[in-house]
Chains A and B, each alone.
Chain A
Amino acid sequence: DVKVTQSSRYLVKRTGEKVFLECVQDMDHENMFWYRQDPGLGLRLIYFSYDVKMKEKGDIPEGYSVSREKKERFSLILESASTNQTSMYLCASSLQASRKDEQFFGPGTRLTVL
């Protein structure tokens, strides 16, 4: 079974803090994704990565950056957290060149910025 893990289930940070959200997958997937989920807005793609050291902007990259130094790990960074970044953050991975395009999600990190 594919397993995608996220470093924290719940996180509380203060405005202006630098925040790291870590995601690890154990199935040697090439593709990894970061989403945020907000009520009424669904899943919005922040960044994704096709390979180590590769990154692509999603629909809402502003205020975020990412790092992919190893294939299994994809980090989301909030350089200076703001209250409007309070959200549920979801990491996902998928196998490149898979016709099914199925993405496997982690359990999510509920981030609150005070």
Chain B
Amino acid sequence: DQQVKQNSPSLSVQEGRISILNCDYTNSMFDYFLWYKKYPAEGPTFLISISSIKDKNEDGRFTVFLNKSAKHLSLHIVPSQPGDSAVYFCAASGMSGNTPLVFGKGTRLSVIA
């Protein structure tokens, strides 16, 4: 039973346009959300996070939006660049410290030049 769902396995976007990656969760106890980016043959790297007390967090070209009532978050990348082509994982946490993150299955983003 997936608690964190990324329903789009892949996404293609033209360079310079906006990329929107979506993530849904089912557990209302989750209160902290993270996005990771993974290139082939490398480990995932942390990209951006958001606490449930916020509805938006921005870091350069990356913005994460959180809609708690819909249990939905999205990652916006604008403008998209070819170097953004990677697999993006959404992750959620319900408690600090000891609880492992719960990951979605990932979305493969391809930015076409």
Contact = CB atoms under 8 A, between A and B. Distances in A.
Interface of A: 4, 9, 31, 33, 37, 40-43, 45, 48, 50, 58, 90, 92, 96-108, 110
29 contacts: A4-B43, A31-B98, A33-B100, A40-B9, A42-B6, A42-B103, A42-B104, A42-B105, A43-B106, A58-B100, A96-B97, A97-B96, A99-B96, A101-B32, A101-B34, A101-B93, A101-B96, A101-B97, A101-B99, A101-B101, A102-B34, A102-B46, A102-B49, A103-B101, A104-B46, A106-B43, A107-B42, A108-B43, A110-B41
Nearest to B107: A42
A108 B38 CA distance: 11
B27 interface: no
A33 B36 CA distance: 16
Give the dominant DSSP class at B's interface. loop
A105 B44 contact: yes
A48 B42 contact: no
B45 interface: yes
A91 to B, nearest CB: 8
Which of A90, A103, A104, A108 has the largest number of chain B CB atoms within 10 A?
Answer: A103
Interface residues of B, number: 25
B100 A48 contact: yes
B25 interface: no
Interface in B69-113: 89, 93, 96-101, 103-106
Contacts of A4: 43
A97 to B, nearest CB: 4
A105 B34 contact: no
Interface in B16-56: 32, 34, 36, 38, 41-46, 49
Which of B34, B38, B44 has the largest number of chain A CB atoms within 10 A?
Answer: B44
Nearest to A9: B41
A110 B40 CA distance: 11
B101 A105 contact: no
